Structure 1
């Protein structure tokens, strides 16, 4: 974990750190061990994840003991490796411990925040971009397909699960809890991004564009629509964890400020 010494864009570090810590997500059908000092998730098969995820690790218990506990859970589940996240509030000895155990750096995310109490950023959304929301099985399939193309992971679940996910997405959208935005160019779905409304915080996640459509404003369009919905539903802060090499530069240009980094490591179970 690293912090931005510049302090970001005027929002207090404490608020951003608290919002980031409160942001934990996993699907209802995941197998989860959730405690204050340890959160380990066994993802459903349709996620096609490389192994269980350690989403939080740190507390009064020594870090090596907690890590060993997470590995024991993964071993019990038959996994060969785990993905360990070093979050903003991770203990300082976690990253060195992972290095000692030959963990491989997998992903680096900037933790960005944007004050939503003022005017929204002008994102110059292309006029030929069509924006909509995930509301049914068909759009659910499109969101998942975009994620597979953009991030190289995931899979399409059975039709019954698509129907269930579509119904949940529609209910969430109508209730003001958020959902996933879809962007189309010439009728083809090319980008998607998720939003979860958590009291006054807009959690932006999963923003991705299929490789063939990158550089054409689709990401900006998906971002603009999510910010519009967030403000409409009472959010005063937008929080997003953006990949350093892809969405990070777009978010900075849109006015988001970085408050630190989070990194994931792949660690063999042994």
Structure 2
């Protein structure tokens, strides 16, 4: 079945990820994040809901962004934003950085058959070794660095707490080597699927499907009625479509110089 557009739009709008160590500049109109040092992108405008004229609000945000002393800020145009916002960021020198499709899947019929290869082993990252593997794969694919050891330990502690509610990250292993990972957050009946990544030399061997399958099944076990993914068009997109996900629009980010 198809999930109604307004349901997907509301769930997408409510999804704003804030890392535990991020510094927030937040008002009712925007959410600007200074990401932890080990993230590949230092500054992100995660949410923009202007009440005042959009030019005024954007310039205010850029003023706050300059206070962090970084060369650029990554500004997102979300599914619910007015399309004119693309022009606003481009007028300030913004260069398109990433385009994501917003995918949703009705989970009422159950999980799709993804044909997961039996050669892959799946482990949820609730111990130090698996968490390290999880973050190593993600860092390699997304261009981040590894966090310090004390942050790894903190991640494990948070993961153990999240596991009680069913949320967490799962890692795929091939011949004992971590090759893929992906995260799951359960919020108000929505299985938010994030951070899906597979090492380049292990692609086309079923790792993404295995990670996707594990997260969908855990979401169903915990009562999720819809899965939501913001996926890269050329990598995860084709797999998600084959799994039955439908596209509801796109989100784009612009690197705006400071």
TM-score category (smaller protein): over 0.9
Show the counterpart of 2:107: 116
Show the counterpart of 1:47: 39
* TM-score normalised by structure 2 residue count: 0.97
Deviation at 1:101, TM superposition (A): 2.1
**Is 1:256 equivalent to 2:258 in the alignment?**
no
Deviation at 1:210, TM superposition (A): 0.4
Show the counterpart of 1:3: none
| Deviation by residue 1:218-244 (Cα, 9 ceiling, x = unmatched) | 000000000000000010000000000
- What is the rounded CA distance, in whole Å, between the counterparts of 1:37 and 1:30 in structure 2? 18
What does 1:56-205 align with in structure 2 at a 5 Å threshold?
A: 56-151=47-142, 153-173=143-163, 175-205=164-194
Instruction: After the TM superposition, list the runs of 4 or more consecutive aligned residues in structure 1 that deviate by more than 3 angstroms.
Output: none
Structure 1 SS opposite 2:38? helix
Deviation at 1:116, TM superposition (A): 0.6
Structure 2 SS opposite 1:206? strand
Unaligned stretches of 5+ residues in structure 2: none
* TM-score normalised by structure 1 residue count: 0.93
When the two chains are superposed, the root-mean-square deviation of aligned CA atoms in Å is 1.1
Show the counterpart of 1:29: 21
Range with bigger deviation, 177-186 or 55-64: 55-64
Deviation at 1:59, TM superposition (A): 2.2
| Deviation by residue 1:44-86 (Cα, 9 ceiling, x = unmatched) | 112232x310011132111111111111111111111100000
Deviation at 1:129, TM superposition (A): 0.5
- What is the rounded CA distance, in whole Å, between the counterparts of 1:240 and 1:114 in structure 2? 9
- 1:20 alignment partner, one of 12, 15, 21: 12
Structure 2 SS opposite 1:46? coil
Structure 2 SS opposite 1:45? coil
| Deviation by residue 1:127-169 (Cα, 9 ceiling, x = unmatched) | 1000110112221211111012222x21111111111111111
Q: Is the 8 A contact 1:110 1:242 kept in 2?
A: yes
- What is the rounded CA distance, in whole Å, between the counterparts of 1:113 and 1:93 in structure 2? 25
- What is the rounded CA distance, in whole Å, between the counterparts of 2:75 and 2:93 in structure 1? 12
- What is the rounded CA distance, in whole Å, between the counterparts of 2:246 and 2:199 in structure 1? 25
